[in-house]
Chain A
Amino acid sequence: MILIRTRWHLVSILLLGIMVLSRWQEANAQNRDQTSGISPTWFILQAVPSVSWTCFPEQTHFSFEWEVTPLLYSWGMTRLDPPFHFFFITQPERFTGSLELTLSTQLYPYRVGTNHWGFSGQLLAHLPLMDYGEYLGLNIGVARYAIAGNSSNYIVSGFSTLFGFLHYTIKYSPGNEIWMHSVEFRFF
Chain B
Amino acid sequence: MIDRNLIQRIFLCALILHGSLLMTGCSSFVTRFIVKSVSDLPVRPESVTGKNAHPVFQHVGLSILWVGHATCLIQIGDKTFLTDPIFTETAGMISKRRIEPGILPSAIEKLDYILISHIHFDHLSYGSLSMLPKSAVMLLPDGSAEYVPEFGFSEYREMSSWTTFEADGVRITAVPVQHFNGRYGFDGAWMKSPTYTGYVIEYQGQTVFFAGDTGYDPEKFKEIGKKFTIDAACIPIAPIEPHDFMKYVHADPEEALKILEDVHAKIMIPIHHRTFVQGLDSSLTTAQNQLKHLVDVRHWDDRVLILNIGERKVLVP
Can you give 29 A-B contacts (C-beta < 8 A)? A33-B143, A33-B193, A34-B146, A36-B146, A36-B187, A37-B192, A39-B192, A42-B190, A45-B189, A76-B149, A76-B150, A77-B150, A78-B149, A78-B151, A80-B158, A90-B147, A91-B184, A92-B146, A92-B147, A92-B148, A129-B2, A130-B7, A134-B126, A136-B7, A162-B11, A162-B14, A162-B18, A163-B93, A165-B184
Contacts of B190 in A (CB 8 A): 36-37, 39, 41-42, 45
B156 at interface by CB-CB < 8 Å: yes
Q: Which of chain B's residues 1-32 have a Cβ closer than 8 Å to chain A?
A: 2, 4, 7, 11, 14-15, 18, 21
CA distance A129 to B127 in the complex (A): 12
Asked if A35 meets B144 with Cβ closer than 8 Å, knowing A162-B18, A162-B93, the reply is yes
Contact A78 B156 (CB under 8 A): yes
Residues on A with C-beta less than 8 A from B178 are: none
Q: Tell yes or no: A172 within 8 A of B by CB.
A: no
A91 to B, closest residue via Cβ: B184
Contacts of B183 in A (CB 8 A): 91
CB pair A34 B2 closer than 8 Å: no
- Are B15 and A80 in contact, with the CB atoms below 8 A? no
Residues A132 and B126 in contact, CB atoms below 8 Å apart: yes
8 Å CB contacts to A: which residues of B126-160? Answer: 126-127, 130, 140, 142-151, 156, 158, 160
Contact status B192-A78, CB under 8 Å: no
- The digit string for A125-157, where 1 denotes a CB below 8 A from any CB of B, is 000011110111000000000000000000000
Q: Give the chain B neighbours of A90 by CB distance below 8 A.
A: 146-147, 187
Whole-angstrom distance from the CB of B288 to the nearest CB of chain A? 30
Q: Which of B126, B130, B184, B190 has the most A CB atoms < 10 Å from its CB? A: B190
Q: How many A-B residue pairs have CB under 8 A?
A: 105
A166 surroundings in chain B (CB, below 8 A) = 14, 18
The residue on B at minimum CB distance from A188 is B186
A130 adjacent to B14 (CB under 8 Å) = no
Chain A positions within 8 Å of B, measured between CB atoms, are 32-37, 39, 41-42, 45, 76-81, 90-93, 96, 129-132, 134-136, 161-163, 165-166, 185, 187-188
Residue among A35, A130, A136, A163 making CB contact with B143, cutoff 8 Å: A35
- C-alpha spacing A41/B190, complex, angstroms: 6
Q: Say how far B264's CB is from chain A's closest CB, in angstroms.
A: 31
Question: How near does chain B come to A75, taking the closest CB pair, in angstroms?
Answer: 9
User: Does B316 make an interface contact (CB < 8 A)?
Assistant: no
List the interface of chain B (C-beta within 8 A of A). Answer: 2, 4, 7, 11, 14-15, 18, 21, 92-93, 126-127, 130, 140, 142-151, 156, 158, 160, 183-184, 186-187, 189-193, 195
In the assembled complex, which residues on chain A have CB atoms less than 8 Å from the CB atom of B151? 78
Q: Are A81 and B145 in contact (CB under 8 A)?
A: yes
Task: Assess whether B142 is in contact with A33, with CB atoms less than 8 Å apart.
Answer: yes
Give the docked Cα–Cα distance between A33 and B145 (Å): 11
Give CA–CA (A101, B162) in the complex, Å.
39
With contacts A41-B189, A135-B7, A162-B11 known, is A81 near B148, CB below 8 A? Answer: yes
Complex: chain A residue closest to B92, CB-CB: A163
Asked if B149 and A130 make an inter-chain contact with CB atoms under 8 angstroms apart, the answer reads no
User: Could you say which residues of chain B place their CB within 8 Å of the CB of A132?
Assistant: 126, 130, 149
B158 near A93: Cβ-Cβ < 8 Å: no
A6 to B: closest C-beta gap in Å: 37
Within the complex, which residue of A79, A131, A187 is in contact with B156, where a contact is CB–CB below 8 Å?
A79
Residues of A close to B2: CB separation below 8 A: 129-130, 136
Q: CB < 8 Å: which of B18, B145, B149, B184 contacts A32?
A: B145
For B18, the chain A residues whose CB sits under 8 A away are: 162, 165-166, 185
- Name B147's closest neighbour in chain A (CB-CB): A92
Closest chain-B Cβ to A58's Cβ sits at a distance in Å of 25
Give Cα distance in the complex from A41 to B146, angstroms: 18
Docked Cα-Cα span, A80 to B116, in Å, equals 15
CB-based contact B11/A36 at 8 Å: no
Q: Nearest Cβ distance between residue A128 and chain B, in whole angstroms?
A: 8
Q: Please indicate the chain B residues that have their CB under 8 angstroms from the CB of A185 in the complex.
A: 18, 21
Known: A129-B2, A135-B7, A163-B184. A35 touches B148 (CB 8 A): no
A131 CA to B130 CA, complexed, in Å: 9
Which 7 A-B pairs give the minimum distances between C-beta atoms?
Answer: A35-B143, A80-B145, A42-B190, A90-B146, A96-B149, A132-B149, A36-B191
A163 to B193: give the CA distance in the assembly, Å: 23
List residues of chain B with CB within 8 A of the CB of A41: 189-190
Cα of A188 to Cα of B184 in the assembled complex, Å: 10
Q: A66 to chain B: closest CB distance in Å?
A: 15
A45-B186 contact given A35-B195, A76-B150, A80-B148, CB 8 Å threshold: yes
